[in-house]
Amino acid sequence: LMDACVVPPQHAALDGGGSGDGGDGAGGAPPGPQPLPQLLVPLARTETRGCSDVQRLVSAASLLCVLLKYSNPCHASAAQGLLVLLISRLPKVRRHTAEQLYVTLLSMDAAELPGMPSDDGTPAPAITDDALEQLQATLLSTCWDGSADEARAARDALAALLRVPAPVMKAVNKGAGARQQGRDENESYAALLDDFARGL
């Protein structure tokens, strides 16, 4: 997926529909394929659901940052995927996502960051230059591999600045939550040992 995502942004506008200027005008041609970025975003987000593989999650974060540069609906969906990863139970994933998002935002103008379109399809206005600066400042000032509560509060602030609703996580029952917490601690510790072994 990472190799496939390197597509010039201007190609995102191609919808594949029609047969060019030399069409027959019959109007019965089947619609063309979806643009590649619109196919990659849901694939990347699907790969992160229920996943505890650190390498897969950080790769998905990097891919979603690339896809963030495309127009809606690709942009808003990629932003939501990144907002989920910013509160991952794995500290390394949160930190990597924040770092990659910060670098991505450095290369973008505020005009390239539209919010979520309305239900009737009305395009959302782009964020302001001030909001872009606040986004960058929040990403820098937050200890993403520290407290999960701090990460969640910062993530919610980023969602408001991006004008993209923060995805709501499904609740789990108390027993399942306790078991999940134990697994999360083991997975975080295993990820730490793996980083140490690789000299990271």
Over residues 99-120, the pLDDT tens digits come to 999 999 999 999 899 888 877 7
Q: What distance in Å separates the CA atoms of residue 151 and residue 143, rounded to the nearest whole number?
A: 7
Residue 33 has pLDDT above 70, yes or no: no
Say yes or no to pLDDT of 126 above 60: yes
- For residue 136, name the pLDDT band (cuts at 50, 70, 90): very high
DSSP letter for 65, please. H
Structure tokens at 120: 């009737």
Burial of 62 (0-12, 13-18, 19+ CB in 10 A): buried
Mean pLDDT of the chain: 77
User: Which pLDDT score is estimated for 72?
Assistant: 84
Res 143 pLDDT > 60: yes
Q: What is the mean pLDDT of residues 138-144?
A: 97
CB atoms within 10 A of CB 69: 17
pLDDT-based confidence at residue 12 (cuts at 50, 70, 90): very low
| Contact between 143 and 150 (Cβ < 8 Å) | yes
pTM check: above 0.85: no
What residues are paired with 126 via a beta bridge?
114
Q: So what's the pLDDT on residue 28?
A: 54
At residue 169, the pLDDT reads: 63
User: Cα separations (Å) of 175 from 73, 87, 172, 183, 188?
Assistant: 38, 21, 8, 13, 20
Question: Does the pLDDT of residue 182 top 60, yes or no?
Answer: no
Amino acid, single-letter form, for residue 97? T
Listing DSSP states for 121-179 in one string gives -PPPPBPPHHHHHHHHHHHHHS-TTS-HHHHHHHHHHHHHHHT-PPPPPPP--HHHHHH
157 vs 3: which has the higher pLDDT: 157
pLDDT of 145 reads 96
Could you give the dihedral angle defined by the CA atoms of residues 78, 84, 88 and 93, in that order, rounded to the nearest 10 degrees? 20
Which of 19-33, 48-62, 69-83, 142-156 has the least mean pLDDT? 19-33
Q: Give me the pLDDT at residue 170, please.
A: 62
pLDDT level of residue 90 (50, 70, 90 thresholds)? very high
DSSP annotation of 9 reads: G
